[in-house]
Every structure is written in structure tokens, then in C-alpha cells.
Structure 1
Amino acid sequence: MIRKSLYGAIAFMVVVYAGFWVSAPGTGDPSQYARLTQNYDVRIVRDKYGVPHIFGDRDVDVSFGLAFAHAEDDFATIQDVVLATRGTLSTLKGPDAAKTDYLIQWMGIWDVVNAGYETRISQATRDHAEAYADGLNYYVSEHPHVVAPGVLPFTGKDIVAGFTFKTPLFFGFDQDVAKVAAGEYGTGLDKTAALMVTDAPQPDLGSQGVAIAPARSGDGSTRLLVNSHQPLTGPVAWYEARLKSNEGWDMAGGTFPGSPLILHGTGPTLGWANTVNKPDLVDVYELTLNPDNGNQYKLDGEWRDFEISDAAIDVTFWGPIRWTFHEPIYRSAHGPVFKTEEGAFAVRWAGMDEMRTLEEMIALNKARTPADFETALAMMAMPSINYVYADKAGNIAHYYNAMMPKRPEGVDWSGLVPGDRSDLIWHGYHGFGDIPKTVNPPSGAVFNANNTPYVASDGDGSALREDFPSSMGIETQMTNRALRLVELLSDAEQVYDHAFRRIKYDNAYSFMGEEKSLAFQVWHEVTGLEFEDAELREARDYLFGWSLTTDASSEHAALGVLTVTPFIMADMSGEPRPDPREAFEHAVRTLKDNFGRLDVPWGQVNRLVRGGESWPLSGGPDVLRAVYAEWDEEAGHLEATAGDSYIMFVEWDAAGAQHVRTMHNFGSATLDASSQHYADQAPLFADERERKLPLDMVALELEKTSERRLGGAGN
């Protein structure tokens, strides 16, 4: 772990294991990268909303162009992502980033990448990553003032390592690490005391994908909804791009800073949506230490020596003043180890030695048939993430993709695992044929909303729970969004386009069926409470009038959503639920203190904010129109920070023609408040409208706002 000595040194500037120095490493000469365009030929055309459409003869040309275009809009975030991946973010961000820097070294990310970069991924994958790095380096040659000291050059290894680091965070790896580091194991400490190893918003608030087959669509079309819920800004916020090469790469959709391809979206013949899934992919082993030698642990009746290495963490305090902190990293046969006051615990997780994720993602980007798509997934190089799939031929599917360890049966893998038996140290993963999947079900619909794969349709055809061993740790829960999808799809015999949009923008909590939403359960409990205070009794009676919808115009939704949100967020984060009476009283006080009444329209409370403007929003936590917000004390209202962000509707009509509508929560200019594209999509997003994506050159030329040629004839 990052021990108390390190935190004490950072907090009080008392250096225990530190080397002091006052200097800043040089960046090198950015102008040396100006010649990189000689190796590429790329055309970047920005449409009416500033979204880059990037064209090149080769895949590497397009990768180079994507890096340059994204850097134009969000270089600072890309730079932060790369520094975090290197474990050197503290050199730029100071002590707050030390936890992330230590985690990178503790995980052994760079050991894996350095050992396998030349042998475990193809030359084409390396070329792709290095072209993206070249695009960043070239951008810096034109804007040398933006780069931080010591960053240059960006490298292909940076890009590959980014996937190795970030993908486990989506299945909650960092949260399990936090529990161990905080000493929760062995003490039963409340998770609220856990050390969070990353300070960024957690990328697991929700997502949904829905696909409709031609037989169900009413007009012979195939329909796909791509609707991931992410933070609205930062390192895992969506950026839209369209990418096309003459080597078969043709994708439009969303990507993250530092990612050299489309993470989910559509090509001309198929597309997919991703949602977070969280099977049990992390195991914590309780080790027995040698009482005479704390650097040894027991395994199969013998004392084994820990492998011990040094984590060097450079932390900037003021200007050029930096310290280098040194912390030991212990590693057992199981994996890296935390030594805490409660004992020693080793951690083993899915993908801990995986570096082929980018290669799999490239194969998905270039897939054109169901066989191509499944062949790419069969690499099993993506530690987790659901795929909701649809294609031009009318095929639809849900794949509960994950690298699920091949664990021995008969062991409770959900808790602490004995660390003194080598037979419990798993090796290898279940193959693609073993994972739950729902392909072309008879209902003609598939979906996922962070729910169990055993409910992937509103009819038969989903994977069956009895077909999968408990050791795979597959989820069994249903979210409100999943409950609503079952209800809404069951009510729609045919899912025309208007019905599809209505389903996506549904903003209600479920109160029907045997399994009711958490929001309904809280509403039912609170309305059953008795209050001595007359004001609270009146508020309770007012809550009776809430229909469990979150329309911006609703005058009951504000009290309802503010009451139930703490319960929903507690369940999502694994925290204890609050007391219903206290949560309700807090909701009442919030509305009375800030608005003077209970019947304030929800859209006055729930706002999309960008710069100096704001717009009313329908939606709330865990509804299909997902909005997660934080209270702005100065403004006196909620500000949306996560949830619905990049939205894509894809349709292949009965004649095979493709139609794509998209919308971003703000706009393509992520950081430049002076740009016309800083917030140009926000009003449409708040109004639940989309724009048609220009996929053919004629349409693109008609709405082109700028064009840039890099390399080739542009030299």
C-alpha cells in the first residue's frame, strides 16, 4: 500500500524516504517533431458541430489524424492521461496524484508492457499506437507552450499501457484495492473509510445499449442505441469522431482521451454499444507472514520470500520544488501485496498480465460481419465490458464479455481466500465459448443496462443461470433501467423509430411487477412514516403525489428524486444506505432553503451547466434518461456531472441504407470556452434532440466548417 509514512510526508512535508531536488527536466525541442508529417497523409474535415471526420489512405494516417484532432480540442486531458499511465502524474498535479502513481507501479503495468511490446502484439498494432503518439508529438511541435516538462516524447507504449491500466477500473478493481489498503479486510471497517486510489469520478454509474431486429421494428429496420453513461468532462468523457481509411477502417462513435480508435459506435455494416459489467474478477488472498521474518509468507507449508521492488514517486509541491518518495512493493506468487495493520493481503485480478486490449479493439473497429466481430471478441483481451450488437443483416446480440478466471469450485471466492495454498492461485481464463450471450432471441430485442446477463431480452433466449458455475461470479442484479426496458419493450409489440426514442428518453422509476425499483421502495417507506412536525407531515403528503417520473416540468419530482437519490447512489457505490427519515428531511430542507417551497419544477433544480449558461434537464439517477448531479451551493441547484453524455441512434432500413443520429452533452471543443463548439450541442441535448451525422462526403461538404491536410500534399 501507500503507507502512512508516505501520506504523512506528503501532508506535513516531512521527508522520510525522499530525495530532495529543485529542478525541472527538459521537454526536449518540440520543433524536432514537425517533420513527422512526412510519414503520414491525412485529411481532417470538421462538420457543422466541429466533430472531426478523419480520412487517410492507411490506418496509421487516420490514427495520426485522430490524435492531432483530439489534441486540438483536449490536449491537456490527453497529457494527464498519459502521465497517469506512466505513474508520473504527481510531477504535474502534485501530492493529490501520488496514490494513482503508486497504483500504476504496484500493478506492474510497465513490467507487462515492456516485456511484451515487441512480442505479444502485432507490428500493425504497434504501428497504430505509434502513429497516434506521433500525432500528439506533432501537435506539440505546433503548440510547444502546452506541453508539461518531461512529457515528450509520447510513445506507442504509452498508448498500449493506457488500456492495461484503465480497463480494470471499469469492473471496480480500484474499489477492491481501496478496501484492502484501508484495512477493511479482517476488520469489517465501513467502506466509507476506504482509501480511494483514484479521485476521478467513477466510470460505473451506468450505461445502456438496446438492439431491435427487423422482425420487431415494424418497418423492417435494424435499430441500435449506443448510450453509455460517463462523466461529462475529464479522462473518461466521450469525444466524438468519424474515422475512415482505405484499408477497411470505417467507424463513427465515441472515444476517450488517449484512445486511438472508436470505443463504441458504428461502422457501415455493424455497430455496438458498451455497458459496464462487474462479474467477480478480483480475488484477495490473506497471507500468513513469518513471525521471525516479515518479508516471508507461507505457501504449501513453506516460507517463501516476497519479491521486493522500489516504487519511486516524484511529487511536485511548489514550482520546481519536488521530492522523490520511495515505497517498497511486495509481490507474492498470487500477485502484488498490501501490508496493513490487519495483516498482509495479495491481490489477483482479471487482466493483470494483459496488454493486447488495443489489438482486440482494432479488430472490432475493422469487423464487418458477425463472424469478424465474434473472432475479435474471442481474443478475450478485454478484461470486462458488455457488448450490445446489431448489424445491417438484422442480427442482434448481447455478449457478457469478461476475462473470468478459471477458479476451482467449492471455494467462496466472494470473500477472503486462503493464501497458503498454491492450488487456489488460478491461472487462465474461460474462453469466449463459455461466456453468457444472447444471440438473435425470438423476441427480436436485446438490451443491457448494467444488469444480469440472465435478463437480456423481454422474452425467451437469454443465457440461463444454471448453465454457468458460481465460480465465474456472474452478476444477478437488475437495475431500474433494466426493469423499465423489460416493461417498455413488453408494451411495444413493434418498435418503430418513435417508440425507440421514447424508450431511450423514458425518465421513470419502475413500480410495476414483482421486482420493483429501489426508488419505489424508498417512496413507499417514506410515505408510510409518521412525523410530529407539521411541515414534514405536509411534505410527506405531497410526496404521495409523485408519479415516479422525472420530467423537467414535474412539480413533485424534485422532492421525490432528492429523497431517493442517496439510496440509489449508496447501492451503486456499495455504501450503507442512509436512514429514510433523515434522507427525506434533508430533501425537504434543501428545497425549502433554496426555493422556499416544495412544488418547484424539477428542471429548475436539475440543470445542465456549461460556462455561464444552463438548461433544465429531465432525468435522474438510474433512469433511462440518466442524470447524475452534484449540488452547486453558490448557484443553489444541481449541476449534471455524469450520466447521459454521448448518444447515438443507428438504423439500417429495410433497403440496407444506414442512418445515424448523434448528440453530445456539450460539444467537440472540450476545453476552449471561446469556441463556438464549446456548448453548441448542449441546448439540443437538454431538449432531447439529436442531429444527423453526415456520413457521405456530399453531406459533409455541405456543412463543413474547416479542413486541414497533414502530410502528403499538405507539407
Structure 2
Amino acid sequence: MLSLFRWLLRIATALVVLFLATTIGVYYFLSRSLPDYDASWRVRGIGDTVEIARNTHAVPHIFGESDADVYFGLGFAHAQDRLWQMTLLRRTAQGRLSEVFGERTLRTDELMRRFDIYGLSQSSVAAQDPQTLSALDAYARGVNAWITLVNDRAMGRGAPEYFLFPSEVGLWQPADSIAILKLMAVQMSGHLENEVQRARLSTLIGETRTNDLMPIEGGDGLSSLPDFASLFPGVSETQWQTQLAMPFRLPGELRGGSLSPFNSTETAGASNAFAAGPTRSANGGTLLANDPHLGFSAPAIWYLARLDLSSGAVTGGTIPGVPAVMVGRSERLAWGLTTAYLDDQDLFFEELSTDNTQRYRTPDGWAEFDTRRSIIHVADADPVTITTRWSANGPILPGSHYSLASVTPPGHVAALSWTALSAEDTSISAAVALNRAGSVQEAIAAGEAFVAPAQNLMLIDRNHIAMQVIGQMPRRSADHPTQGRMPAPGYDADARWQGVFPYASNPQFIDPQTGLLGNTNNKPLDRPFPLHVSFDWGDTTRIQRWVRLMRQRSVHTRESFIEAQLDTVSQAARTLLPLVGAELWFQDAAPEPGSAQAQRQIALQLLADWNGEMNEHLPEPLIYAAWMRELQFRLTRDELGPQIEMFSHMLPDFIERVFSNTDGAGEWCDVVQSAVIETCVDIARASLDEALLGLTQDFGPAIESWRWGEAHQATHDHPVLGEVPVLGLFVNIRQSTSGGDNTLMRGLTRGGPPGAPQPFLNIHGAGYRGVYDMADPESSVFIVSTGQSGHPLSHHYDDLGVLWRRGEYIPMTLDPDLARAGGVGITRLEPQR
């Protein structure tokens, strides 16, 4: 027995030693890819010495004798910290994810090939101005210099992910940077999905009720929607009803997939930007706050950097792979971005010839599709060959995507017109020129080259504030049959685009009398179609809250702008709760303790005393969010049936219309299939009881102990390693957060259909925040939501995320001496002769 014990002890000891040795070995190999920030390298591709001084948060301050050398340094720094992220973005744009990840990303690759994002990016290289070509080329040389060093010195392949997903890292090309910027357009565009939704809804429930769910804000010149089926008279009513009964959903790879750039229209765009002129600033200067919103990931898409250019230093948020500060400031100018919601997509149905399906009908007769074959290589599977087709209106999309099969008439195929599908896309030239601009007017002029995605460019210099919409506006005929709100026949000359409007037609606001400018994706102006910009806009309640905050002070400071940027009060909650609960408060007799009625009374009492602040430490935001979510499902499920998945997030305007009975919207409260006529009070009470039941199951019976932040955790997840069991615990960054779908400090919830797990996770918000004071530029502050490094073993993988969660910021100086003082090291790049 003693002998057996000794052998067991030896085996256990050996296993422990083996485990420790394996762990140490794995750590050693993975840590080899951690860059040394305090090193000197001899590299090819620079004219003189380049210094990359990183501060205590590993933010690089890049100095060189020429702009080309500075862009080289940015490429080098990006590659040091985010090589895996950069190559993953490039593969996404190229439609080559399946070479590494297999069949799970095949549908994403297929759609990217049909859009030909990378081919168009290659064609766009020649369209750039000389300064941008120089920047692109120098940046690529910087990235490649680091890749060469990694290969020559066996530095852990450059990123730990390459040990799990072996893949050759190809050299960087100028087209790669253009493709990543185009990828942003893919992430921020949602009008295609809106058109499909509106076509389905208007046919199923009529235009009036469709406008309840998808309100149209078009200003003068708005006409009623045509009957969608009447646009295609050859299709019988039975065929339409069969198709429209199909559930509306995007494939998992296209909605919410961790490696997919395709977002639902609900997450296609958001952001805040607001500015104050000298008359509204306490120190007589100008102020700007900006927080662009994108899907969360680890690392974040944003990377802080400072570039010492010949035109003056610039600092702010960059995107790894792109040689420009996309949002930030110089000594004389600051700029921010919000999604413009410009309608830059139109869906067309091309009629096929019955004699030859490779031909389609045009206003001038029949034409041949431009057809190409594309081979997608798939890991652990046979290659897949697809045939891509383009009509004069754009690429042909399969019916399996965006639920197109449900609205595509028989004998037709869907084509997409989209400004981002340009072979002469000069958006990156606009970004590079913006970094050289020294005034509001120069920045506006730089924006003319911007194509897509359309943005509101918020600007301040020392004396002026402005907002300029940048991005090409499609020119539609005044006789367009659907005004771009629904798909149209591809052969209708009135439906086809007639080029784009001149840049002078884009909305512009300079030095308003109020001294304030703000945008939260709201509609900024009324103009008749076709100069309307869009019929679909973002959240309307955040701008109401912003206006209220701005009116509370006659003058503003950097601190008041920070306070507004971090504001978590939901104007939607303040509006909806008095409407929805008007006849529920204090109406029931004393209930039996522990009963559903008792739970309801406790919840209603908490909400009655609540000010609408979506604070992570309170139970009220959780009760409110769950109630409104259940309420919307109950209001719509009988009318929409399986189409309920179209709207997985609470729509404040819809609920307000229903409970105010705007245009008869109160009829949504009656359950169509029920013989009893239900009132809105009945639905509100039943929804609250159901919501509380679900919350009790998830968080326990003690309502006072519930916490919004427990459900509303920010999901900064690694897009690949985060899905691996156990490993995800180390690479995913989860944080309890305040805010919600409709707060200025926005934290969009995951949503999903009824019964979806963890619907309140925070998946989309401000990955970058900046507040700039041009009266004292050095007091400007910045933050990103994770850290500078994409390496999970780095201290800088999540160090800024801790500050971000607490609403704190860091300074980023333009003073060279301060930039070099202290920090984590200076990387010196010497030219290799």
C-alpha cells in the first residue's frame, strides 16, 4: 500500500512538473511577440532616424525628419501592437477569412467577394493625391519593416494568435489601408436592410402602421409609399404572401458573428459630437466633445497616437491599418465624427430575360451581366467557387442574404447601388488632408474628397465651430417611384441613380447664432426629396437630453462637456414611464407578500421615485429595460408573427406613439387573435408582470438587490480567442457599465428575439472619447475602451479600459519634450544603408 502511495505521489508530482513546464514554455513562446518599446532597430525604407516615444499608457508619439518617415513610424507602431487585428481586418476585406477559420466564415467571405471591396480598393490607389500616395507607401513600408524583424528574429510570429491559427502574414500594401477604411462603410451602412424591412412591413400591415415602427421624417416633398407589389405587376398576390411570410433574419455570420463586419441596421451607426463657440465657452475659446460608437471588441478598433507632421503635430484616435488620425486635434484644429445616416444605398430588382438568365432588362433594352468567377479557399474543406455578377446598378446579391428572397419577385435578382462601391474612392485622401488642415474652412475643403461612409464632421478652430456632412450624396430623380425607401425595378430610368450631387449640396452649419452645435445621429435639417439626406435617422431622444444639458448653462467648460459626454439619464425613460404606467401606479390594493402583485407594486414604487438615470448600481434601469422590451414584444408579436425579429431593440418613438394613440397607433394594444379587446393598460400590466418574472428567475426575488450593471456588462471580447472555453476568461474584458440604448453615454444592449439569453449585455458604444479645448489645447483629454496593445499578455491590453469604465481620461501632449519625458520607452529606427 505504501509503495502504491509513493508511485501515485511520483505520478502526481510528474504531472504537476509537466504542467508547470508546459505553462512556462507556452508563456515563453507567447511572450516572444511582446514588443520591446525601448529598443533600437536598423530598418529599410526611411530617410533618417525615426523616434517612437511611448508614454506611460504606451501611446506612441512619433517623430521624424519627414512626413513619410512619420507615417513609416505609425505603420511600425501599429504593427508592433495590433498586427493580428490588422491582418484580420485585411482578410475580412479581401474575403479570405475562411482560409484560416474554415466554413464558419464562408458566407461572410462570399458577400465580401460579391461586393469586391478589395478589388475596388486596389483600383482606388491610383485615384489618391500625391501626399496620400506617399503616406500610404511609407505606412506600408513601416508595417513591413516590423513583419521582417519578426520573421528574421523569431519574435513569436508577431502575435500569439498565430500559434493557434498558423497563417502566413503577407506584406502590407497601400490598397490594404483603403480596404480597411471601406470596411468601416460596411459596418456603418444599414439602408439596405431598412428597404427590405419597409417593403415587407408595408405589404403585411400597411403604410400607416409601418410608419409607427419605422417613422419617416422627410420634410417637404414626402409622398406616400407606393404599394410594393404594384411595382412588379407580373407577380401574383399569392406568390407575394408566400414570400413575405418568410421569417426576417440575417444568417448568424452576417448578424452578430464575431468575425463579421455586417451589422444589423440597429447597430449600423451611432455617435455623439458637440461643439461650443467662443460666446458659449467660459474661457472664450472653442470646445468640442466626440465619442464615435462602434461594436466593442478586444482590442478596441481605436488606437491612440501622435504624429509630428511638417504641417504641425496631430494627436487622437487612429484605426490600425490606416495612416491618419481619424478623430482628434492639432494645435489649431479639432475634429470629430458621427454617422450621418445619409441614404447611400438603393436596392434594385433586375428582371432576367426568360431566354437567357445572363441578361437583364435596362431602360434601353437587354444587357449582359459582368460575370466573374472567384475561388474561396476553405480551411479543412474543399475550395468553393462562386460566380459574381454586376449589373449597371451594382453587384448582384443572393436571396439568402438580408432576407432578400422574401421580397425579390420571381424572375428577378437583387442589385445594390452603394457609394462605397467606388473604384475611385478618395476617402483616405480626405483623412490625410484633414490632418494637415489648420482651420475650419481648410478642413471643410478637405472633406470634399470623402466618399463613404458618410459622416458628420464636427469642427472647431480657435474662433469658429462648424458641422459639415462629408460623403457622396446619390442624385435621385424627383420622380423616383419609392424615393429610395423601398426596392425599385432596375429597368426604371426614374429609379436609377443619376450620379452624385456636388459637394456644395451637402448640409453645412457654420457658427450658428446659438453658439452651439450638436449631433447624436439625429435629423439635422428639413429638405425636400431628393436633397433630403435620409428618411431614416438614429435615436431622437439623445439629442433632446443634450439640448437640455446645454441649456442649463450659459457658458460651458471642458468639465461640463465631459459631464455631458458621460451623462446616463435616459430621456426615453422619463418620457415613456409616465405614459405607460399612468394608470398602474398606486391602483392595486395591498397584495399578499411575495405575490406577483406585490412584486409589481415594489417595482412601480421604485420607478416612481427614479429620475431616469441608467446607473449600473441601481435596479430601476433593469426593471425599466425589461418592461419596455417585453411591452414591445407583446404589442407587435400578433401583427408581425415571425417578423418580430426585425425589431430586437426597444423603439421609444413607437411606444410613445402607441400610448399617445398617435394616428390611431393605440390599436397595437389589442391582440388581433383574441376575442377580447385588450387595452394598453392591460398590455402594460401584463408586460411588467412577465418582465419581473423573468428578472426574478435570473437575479433572485429581492428586487432591491438587482443591479443594472450586472446585466449591462460591456463585452470587449476577443473576436477569435474569446470564444475558446477557459481562454475566453483571460482575453475577454467584461465590465459593469452604466448607460443604455438611449443615453448620451450610450451602451447599446444586445437585444434579440423573445427568450434570447443575456439581452442587456452592452455590445456597442463609445470605444473612443475625446474632449478638446482650443483655448488651452494641452488640456484636451482622450481615452479608448481597452488598451493600446492587442497582446493579451501585455499590461497595456486593458489598462485604459479601467479608466474608460470609470469615466476618466488621459492627456496627450503635443510638446515634444513632454512626450519624451518618462513613459515606457523610446523606439529608435535607424536607416539601414
> TM-score, normalising length from structure 2?
0.71
Alignment counterpart, residue 249 of structure 2, candidates 184, 188, 193: 193
- 1:548 alignment partner in structure 2: 612
Q: SS state of the match for residue 821, structure 2?
A: helix
Deviation, 1:103, is: 2.2
Q: 1:408 to 1:667 in 2, by over 3 A?
A: same
Distance 2:629 2:138 in 1: 44
Q: Which amino acid aligns with 1:602?
A: W
Distance 1:112 1:179 in 2: 28
Distance 2:194 2:106 in 1: 18
Distance 2:475 2:180 in 1: 26
Distance 2:557 2:519 in 1: 19
- 1:160 alignment partner in structure 2: 178
Larger radius of gyration: 2
Deviation, 1:256, is: 1.9
CA contact (8 A) 1:565 1:621 kept: no
- 1:409 alignment partner in structure 2: 478
> What is the aligned-residue RMSD (CA, Å)?
3.6
Alignment counterpart, residue 675 of structure 1, candidates 794, 800, 806: 794
* Structure with the higher helix share, 1 or 2: 2
Alignment counterpart, residue 698 of structure 2, candidates 555, 580, 593: 593
Deviation, 1:478, is: 4.9
CA contact (8 A) 1:405 1:428 kept: yes
- 2:773 alignment partner in structure 1: 651
- 1:238 alignment partner in structure 2: 302
1:112 and 2:120 matched: yes
Distance 2:357 2:340 in 1: 38
- 1:18 alignment partner in structure 2: none
Matches within 5 A, 1:86-235: 86-118=94-126, 120-144=127-151, 145-146=157-158, 148-172=166-190, 175=193, 187-188=243-244, 192-195=248-251, 197=254, 199=257, 200=260, 202=263, 204-233=268-297
Q: Which amino acid aligns with 2:558?
A: D
Distance 2:498 2:300 in 1: 30
Distance 1:334 1:180 in 2: 21
1:524 and 2:579 matched: yes
Matches within 5 A, 1:410-489: 410-411=479-480, 412=482, 413-454=484-525, 465-466=526-527, 469=530, 472-473=533-534, 475=536, 478-489=539-550
Q: 1:287 to 1:381 in 2, by over 3 A?
A: closer
CA contact (8 A) 1:453 1:476 kept: no
Distance 1:682 1:477 in 2: 27
1:296 and 2:359 matched: yes
- 1:74 alignment partner in structure 2: 82
Q: Give CA deviations for 1:92-150 in whole Å, capped at 9, x if unaligned.
A: 122222223222221233443444533x2234322222222222222222223246534
CA contact (8 A) 1:173 1:349 kept: no
Q: 1:425 to 1:37 in 2, by over 3 A?
A: same
Structure 2: which 5+ runs fail to align? 1-40, 152-156, 204-227, 229-239, 400-404, 589-594, 637-642, 651-682, 717-728
Deviation, 1:243, is: 1.3
Distance 2:390 2:698 in 1: 53
Distance 1:707 1:567 in 2: 57
Deviation, 1:39, is: 5.2
CA contact (8 A) 2:618 2:707 kept: yes
Q: 1:39 to 1:582 in 2, by over 3 A?
A: farther
Distance 1:661 1:211 in 2: 15
CA contact (8 A) 1:217 1:495 kept: yes
Q: SS state of the match for residue 779, structure 2?
A: strand
Moved more, 697-706 or 72-81: 697-706
Q: 1:250 to 1:542 in 2, by over 3 A?
A: same
Q: SS state of the match for residue 377, structure 2?
A: strand
Moved more, 253-262 or 542-551: 542-551
Q: SS state of the match for residue 273, structure 1?
A: strand
CA contact (8 A) 1:309 1:328 kept: yes
Q: Which amino acid aligns with 2:145?
A: Y
Q: SS state of the match for residue 283, structure 2?
A: coil
Deviation, 1:206, is: 2.0
With CA pairs under 8 Å and 6+ residues apart, which has the higher RCO, 1 or 2? 2
1:372 and 2:442 matched: yes
1:690 and 2:809 matched: yes
1:709 and 2:816 matched: no
Distance 1:158 1:368 in 2: 28
Q: SS state of the match for residue 446, structure 2?
A: helix
CA contact (8 A) 2:350 2:360 kept: yes
Deviation, 1:686, is: 2.3
Q: Which amino acid aligns with 1:299?
A: T
Q: Give CA deviations for 1:207-261 in whole Å, capped at 9, x if unaligned.
A: 101111110112212111021122332587211111112x225221112232221
Distance 1:560 1:489 in 2: 26
1:256 and 2:319 matched: yes
Moved more, 518-527 or 151-160: 518-527
Deviation, 1:377, is: 1.1
CA contact (8 A) 1:232 1:238 kept: no
Q: 1:266 to 1:80 in 2, by over 3 A?
A: same
Distance 1:374 1:236 in 2: 28
Q: 1:524 to 1:584 in 2, by over 3 A?
A: farther
1:620 and 2:740 matched: yes
Distance 1:315 1:523 in 2: 55
Deviation, 1:623, is: 0.6
Q: SS state of the match for residue 294, structure 1?
A: coil
Q: Which amino acid aligns with 1:417?
A: A
Matches within 5 A, 1:301-320: 302-317=365-380
Deviation, 1:378, is: 1.9
Q: Give CA deviations for 1:251-281 in whole Å, capped at 9, x if unaligned.
A: 2111223222111111111111111121221
Distance 1:38 1:387 in 2: 33
CA contact (8 A) 1:235 1:257 kept: no
Moved more, 130-139 or 232-241: 232-241
Q: 1:679 to 1:596 in 2, by over 3 A?
A: farther
Deviation, 1:170, is: 1.4
Deviation, 1:425, is: 2.4
- 2:624 alignment partner in structure 1: 560
Q: SS state of the match for residue 88, structure 1?
A: coil
1:663 and 2:783 matched: yes
* Structure with the higher strand share, 1 or 2: 1
Q: 1:706 to 1:595 in 2, by over 3 A?
A: farther
Deviation, 1:163, is: 2.3
Distance 2:823 2:300 in 1: 28
Distance 2:517 2:75 in 1: 34
1:335 and 2:394 matched: yes
CA contact (8 A) 1:41 1:56 kept: yes
Q: 1:574 to 1:80 in 2, by over 3 A?
A: same
Deviation, 1:471, is: 5.8
CA contact (8 A) 1:396 1:439 kept: yes
CA contact (8 A) 2:198 2:485 kept: no
Q: 1:303 to 1:209 in 2, by over 3 A?
A: same
Q: Which amino acid aligns with 1:483?
A: Q
Distance 1:131 1:549 in 2: 48
Structure 1: which 5+ runs fail to align? 1-32, 455-464, 511-516
Moved more, 190-199 or 157-166: 190-199
CA contact (8 A) 2:600 2:692 kept: no
Distance 2:247 2:573 in 1: 21
